[in-house]
Amino acid sequence: MMHQLVQQTGRDLVHQESPDKPWERSRLWCHEESFNVLKQQKGTENLIGLALDMRMLEKAKLSGSLQMKTSAFSMMYNLKLLQLNFVNIDGSYKNISKELRWLCMHGFHLKSIPSELLPMENLVVLDMSHSHIESFDISYNRSQRFVSSLKNQDVLRIWNIQHILCWERYT
């Protein structure tokens, strides 16, 4: 009960940051608000946390394409937590903040992780459970710091992966 009160108090405080403009808040956890901010590409440098799970949205209420553009992240410089579950995104992953510490992309639709997404030196947790990833290429030059920044191998969660290239160098 106490945890729920603390959580609700925190959410109320964040909501007060900008009651009518969710894109100006520091955190977005309401899936519908997150969806709208990404679709309208209104994210700002204020955002440090964003969660969107497409399974939580009522598809009947959504209009247009459900695919997101990576350009929606271009102004979110300070994003530290990003949860995009079962979200189909298109474009260059260079737009995603290099400040991320926690990245969760359940149901990631590609068969491999784009190389431009990996050089994240601050990343502590990478959770890509239930994704379509078949291979994970960790080239020594580009990802040495990425792998060492993960707290341990348990926080690198990728299910159904067939092979990880060059992993033995890091274990």
| CA-atom Rg of the chain in angstroms | 17
User: What's the pLDDT tens digit per position in 131-171?
Assistant: 888 766 555 344 444 455 555 444 455 555 554 444 444 44
Q: Pick the closest to residue 14 from 41, 51, 68 (CA basis).
A: 51
Question: In the predicted model, what is the mean pLDDT of residues 8-37?
Answer: 95
> What is the per-residue pLDDT for 22?
97
Model pTM score = 0.80
User: What's the pLDDT tens digit per position in 74-121?
Assistant: 999 999 999 999 999 999 988 899 899 999 999 998 888 887 776 677
Question: What is the set of domains in the chain, with CATH numbers?
Answer: 24-169 (3.80.10)
